[in-house]
Structure 1
Amino acid sequence: MTTETEATYDVIVIGAGPVGENVADRTTAAGLSTVVVESELVGGECSYWACEPSKALLRPVLMRADALHVPGLGPALKSPLDTETVLAHRDRMSADWTDDGQVEWLKSAGIDLLRGHGRLVGEREVSVETPDGRTVRLRARHAVAVCTGSRAALPDLPGIGTVRPWTSREATSAQRPPGRLVIVGAGVVGVEMATAWQGLGSRVTLLARDGGLLPRMEPFAGELVAERLKEAGADVRFNTSVVAAERLPDGEVRVALADGGELTADELLFATGRAPRSEDIGLDAVGLTPGDWLTTDDTLTVTDAPGNWLYAVGDVNRRALYTHQGKYQARIAGSVIGARARGETLDTGRWAPHSAAADGVAVPGVVFTDPEIATVGLTEAGAEREGRAVEVVDYDIGQLAGAHQYRSGYKGRARLVIDRNRRTVVGATFAGPGVAELLYSATVAITGEVPVERLWHAVPAFPTISEVWLRLLETRRDR
């Protein structure tokens, strides 16, 4: 017999990933009683199947690639990576897929946890089906925050379910390298997993539907990654689409291509985009469409739900699908919920504390490949689509003394996109080994709307790769 109980809180958060945890932390700090509902592991996708395990796989591969180009180290690195040790490290970084530590943190922060599947059943009401068969009816005095994230989207191919393809989850949690791995998709997940598993001993074939990798970034970024993947032994194919796939009786996967070709592999990974985890959270009960992305304003309030009680934070709102951006949104949403609960007037001006302005202006991202790709703001093409008059400045990072110190034969490129009218940087892309740490300076330059002339007075240390900022400014001056 099902037992139904009830509980009332100031705030209900659906989803205990990094985003939900941060919303709950902020609302609790504001003095609001908060409960988090989670159907899987506290810590979410990032902790167990995305950011943490993927970077644990990639770090040894990228470190070895750098070390092979450091004078004196190459001969000591002729042996392949110790795959078993790398995978054990990945397991530790994923907490062996247990969430005891995260649960303890919730307790220490004064946040209640209710395990189970939560669904909206009305305004400020959530019904939770718990693993032991109970139903708990939760009511919120002030707010419900949907922080359910996104999932891998699979293509609409006949019999895709019987193929048992990998998604990002299987790719980051596999217990051994597949002998042959076909990856469909040329975005961030596709190129990172190609880099990781090729470096750990798999024979990788990467299929790009269009003519390049990382299509949403500056073209040179994808070109450099493709070059290095090929040098590492991966088979990179452009303008290639999959029309069918089947799992054979012996466990192999046969992949049919649009050009009539065929591939056989041990595993097939689809890295073809993300979809919102909103199909079964009761959106229809509050007049919204199950399975849709949730549209919000800059306070992270769902615009199609009247009454300012429903919030969508993180991937589920499709504003910027990065963990760090979701946590940024969570801090904003928590402050908004707290202010509204106190009856305060929101400050939502540009860069105000109750406005998620950075989501459309300065979204930083790093692709952890060889070479690294670090981007923030607009690409040249993106700026032109917005109708901006822009000036583009490029520099070969390999000319820097700091780059030569980092590794011999350094290949890399930097680009600034400058708004001619405002004379500020609106976009930056760095491609090369070790460039990820350049990204915050570019993010500050864009967010702070620092005039280009003032950047001359930000002096980079010598010999570092950050000296590329000076060279970019000199290149612009000398035109």
Structure 2
Amino acid sequence: MDVESDAADYDLIVIGAGPVGENVADRAVQGGLRVAIVESELVGGECSYWACMPSKTLLRPVAALNAARAVPGAAPAISGGVDVAATLRARDAMVHEWSDDGQVAWLDGAGIDLVRGHGRIDGERSVRVEASDGTVRTLRARDAVAVCTGSAALLPDVPGLADAAPWTSREATAVQQVPASLAILGGGVVACELATAFASFGTRVTLIARSGLLGGLEPFAGDAVAASLRDAGVEVRMRARAQRVDRDAHGVRITLDGGDEVTADELLVATGRVPRTADVGLDAVGLEPGTWIEVDDTLRVPGSDWLYAVGDVTHRALLTHQGKYQARAAGDVIAARARGGDVDDALWGRHVATADHSAVPQVVFTEPQVAAVGLTEKQATDAGMRIRAVEVDLAAIAGAATHAEGYRGTARALVDEDRQVIVGATLVGADLAELLHAVTIAVVAEVPLARLWHAVPAYPTISELWLRWLEAYGR
């Protein structure tokens, strides 16, 4: 039976203690507010335990081995493949054995009160928290409530799928026994990254995608990843749809349109995300449970002066770094409004998440890596821009030649012809992730091409692609 305890008052209540919620809370505390954060699972959230950190730890060994194999003086030292057991141990260490003690200590040091339990909005500026033992607390906010509950894996409506006990990214990144065979439904980032990782473990992987791979990026990026996956032994089946899934004692059987069948020991579903808003009390404030939450650029829900939503739940940009960016804006503006301070909500102002619309960076940690920021050519053209695409073969750059024998890669920049600035870029090749931030700065700051001539790349580095872009553009 629920037992009601004493209520507690705060300036801000944050529901969800993942990286986004933590950053909202921290910025608000730094702004002088008293803050409680509510969490029913592990403090640190999806990214820390089941997504970004464990998946990149699983992917790092194959990237390091491939890099060494491409260097003539190092290749002879590589006599084997990925040590799966050691990789899983490294993953366990990275997620601290799924203990959030360190994250809890950080909250305490930051002056943020942690309330364990499931939080639901039950009225204006009020959150009801039910703990695992059934006790209930009511938290009241003087100023704001922020919903930062993230997203979960989407399970498509395929007959038999739910009963077949499929993996989501959570089970895949937390795997303890690597299966001999794995089927993956999906062609996005999660599907491609985990196909890369499990293929490196020696698992027989079949990737089933309804269209091409990495559909939100430039087509040449998906084509390069598909070719690399096939080279790694992955069976890539594009333009294929699952019609039915069955599981028996031998594993799973996926029946595709046309009658083809794929069998595997395990099935990973990576077909998209849904908001974790089904049970956070949206109905109490006139919103539809289970839906994405619309917000303005200060992350406040339109029509409300106290309700905010930040991160994946807004469906603006489902990336941890972008959610943390939104969190900084939200935490600061909540504090400013609470203290009667100035609000800087102009374009690119301190209290807005302007970059969400046209300057989102993303890295796909496949082999090869894909790094992209800003608009694709189609998005820019659809927005009415007069675009010129400038493409560079990275193999022709001296830094790439010294980096790896037979280096292959492509870098495409999109120039707005009217403003003479770069509005988007996509880089495909080995070890390009760390080059992305320079492109992001150019896109966000709208650096004129004429000024970029004076940003001289060091020789010999792959960063010389900037010079090659400018030369190819003809300036």
| Partner SS, residue 254 of structure 1 | strand
Between the aligned partners of 2:396 and 2:233, the Cα distance in structure 1 is 27
What letter matches 1:96 in structure 2? E
Q: CA offsets, 1:399-445, max 9 Å, x none?
A: 11111111111110000001111111000100000111111011100
What pairs up with 1:314-325 in 2 under 5 angstroms?
314-325=311-322
Q: CA offsets, 1:322-352, max 9 Å, x none?
A: 0000000000001110110011241111111
| Partner SS, residue 408 of structure 2 | coil
Give the deviation of 1:207 after TM superposition: 1.2
Between the aligned partners of 1:281 and 1:419, the Cα distance in structure 2 is 43
Residue of structure 2 in register with 1:234 after alignment: 234
Residue of structure 2 in register with 1:451 after alignment: 448
Q: CA offsets, 1:128-170, max 9 Å, x none?
A: 0011221001100000000000000011012322100011111
Give the deviation of 1:69 after TM superposition: 1.1
Between the aligned partners of 2:170 and 2:73, the Cα distance in structure 1 is 38
What letter matches 1:278 in structure 2? T
Between the aligned partners of 2:162 and 2:444, the Cα distance in structure 1 is 44
Residue of structure 1 in register with 2:386 after alignment: 389
What letter matches 2:253 in structure 1? R
What letter matches 2:254 in structure 1? V
Between the aligned partners of 2:167 and 2:276, the Cα distance in structure 1 is 18
| Partner SS, residue 254 of structure 2 | strand
What pairs up with 1:328-367 in 2 under 5 angstroms?
328-367=325-364
Tell me if 1:243 matches 2:250.
Answer: no
| Partner SS, residue 35 of structure 1 | strand
What letter matches 1:228 in structure 2? S
Q: CA offsets, 1:378-397, max 9 Å, x none?
A: 11111111111111100001
Unpaired runs of at least 5, structure 2: none
Residue of structure 2 in register with 1:96 after alignment: 97
Residue of structure 2 in register with 1:307 after alignment: 304
Tell me if 1:274 matches 2:273.
Answer: yes
Q: Is the 8 A contact 2:283 2:289 kept in 1?
A: yes
Amino-acid identity (%): 57
Q: Is the 8 A contact 2:155 2:162 kept in 1?
A: no
User: TM-score if structure 2 supplies the norm length?
Assistant: 0.98
| Partner SS, residue 225 of structure 1 | helix
| Partner SS, residue 144 of structure 1 | strand
What letter matches 1:309 in structure 2? W
Give the deviation of 1:72 after TM superposition: 2.5
Q: CA offsets, 1:235-272, max 9 Å, x none?
A: 1111111111011133x001101121001101111110
Residue of structure 2 in register with 1:26 after alignment: 27
Give the deviation of 1:64 after TM superposition: 0.8
Residue of structure 2 in register with 1:371 after alignment: 368
Residue of structure 1 in register with 2:170 after alignment: 169
Q: CA offsets, 1:278-333, max 9 Å, x none?
A: 00011001100000100000000011xx3310000000001101000000000000
User: TM-score if structure 1 supplies the norm length?
Assistant: 0.98
- Aligned with 2:411 (options 404, 414, 422): 414
Q: CA offsets, 1:167-205, max 9 Å, x none?
A: 111111101221111111111001000000001111111
Residue of structure 1 in register with 2:467 after alignment: 470
Between the aligned partners of 2:218 and 2:50, the Cα distance in structure 1 is 27
| Partner SS, residue 256 of structure 1 | strand
What letter matches 1:372 in structure 2? Q
Give the deviation of 1:123 after TM superposition: 0.6
Between the aligned partners of 1:369 and 1:74, the Cα distance in structure 2 is 20
What letter matches 1:184 in structure 2? L
Residue of structure 1 in register with 2:128 after alignment: 127
Q: CA offsets, 1:86-133, max 9 Å, x none?
A: 000011111111100000000001100011000000010000001122
What letter matches 1:477 in structure 2? G
Unpaired runs of at least 5, structure 1: none
Between the aligned partners of 1:353 and 1:455, the Cα distance in structure 2 is 26
Give the deviation of 1:213 after TM superposition: 1.1
Between the aligned partners of 2:2 and 2:196, the Cα distance in structure 1 is 49
What letter matches 1:249 in structure 2? A
- Aligned with 2:426 (options 419, 425, 429): 429
What letter matches 2:40 in structure 1? S
Tell me if 1:259 matches 2:262.
Answer: no
What letter matches 2:288 in structure 1? T
| Partner SS, residue 455 of structure 2 | coil
Residue of structure 1 in register with 2:119 after alignment: 118
Give the deviation of 1:2 after TM superposition: 2.7
Between the aligned partners of 1:237 and 1:133, the Cα distance in structure 2 is 48
Between the aligned partners of 1:215 and 1:28, the Cα distance in structure 2 is 39
Range moving further from structure 2, 168-177 or 104-113: 168-177
Q: CA RMSD in A?
A: 0.9
Q: Is the 8 A contact 2:65 2:81 kept in 1?
A: no
What pairs up with 1:37-76 in 2 under 5 angstroms?
37-76=38-77
Between the aligned partners of 1:266 and 1:246, the Cα distance in structure 2 is 12
Residue of structure 1 in register with 2:200 after alignment: 199
Between the aligned partners of 2:236 and 2:136, the Cα distance in structure 1 is 50
Runs of at least 4 residues of structure 1 off by over 4 A?
none
